[in-house]
Amino acid sequence: LAYTLSQSGAKVGIFDADVYGPSLPIMVSPEYSKSKLEMDQETKEITPVEYEGVKLVSFGFTTEGSAMMRGPMASGLVNQLLTTSKWGDLDYLLLDLPPGTGDIHLTI
């Protein structure tokens, strides 16, 4: 969906909010799956990984594997990744959420 929107001229981002099992890094090209998010030390803003014109932010781009954390900590991480990323002007921001109706869903 994101890449179809992008090919039609829209500015698109994908936010992988599933910190328990981030899948976005394995869905893109293998060369990009090892990409890492970078943080501007001055502004503390995160620069999304960009693949074929779509901006990508995922906990999977910060570490390998999934996170072992309780709800409030996971919610805080999701909030930080979502709000401090330099998305720029987007027409669409697609969210990949974990299954269920837990703390992450309520945070977003």
Total-model pTM: 0.80
Contact 16, 59 (CB under 8 A): yes
- CATH number (domain holding residue 85): 3.40.50.300
Structure tokens at 107: 């945070």
What pLDDT does residue 7 have? 96
d(CA 24, CA 20): 12
Number of domains in the chain: 1
What pLDDT does residue 102 have? 64
Core vs surface per residue 45-55: b (16+ CB within 10 A) or e: ebebbebeebb
Q: What tens digit of pLDDT does each residue of 30-45 get?
A: 676 667 888 889 999 9
Look at residue 50 and tell me whether its pLDDT is greater than 80. Answer: yes
Look at residue 73 and tell me whether its pLDDT is greater than 90. Answer: no
Q: What tens digit of pLDDT does each residue of 79-97 get?
A: 888 889 999 999 999 988 7
Structural domain span for residue 75: 2-107
Look at residue 67 and tell me whether its pLDDT is greater than 60. Answer: no
What pLDDT does residue 29 have? 72
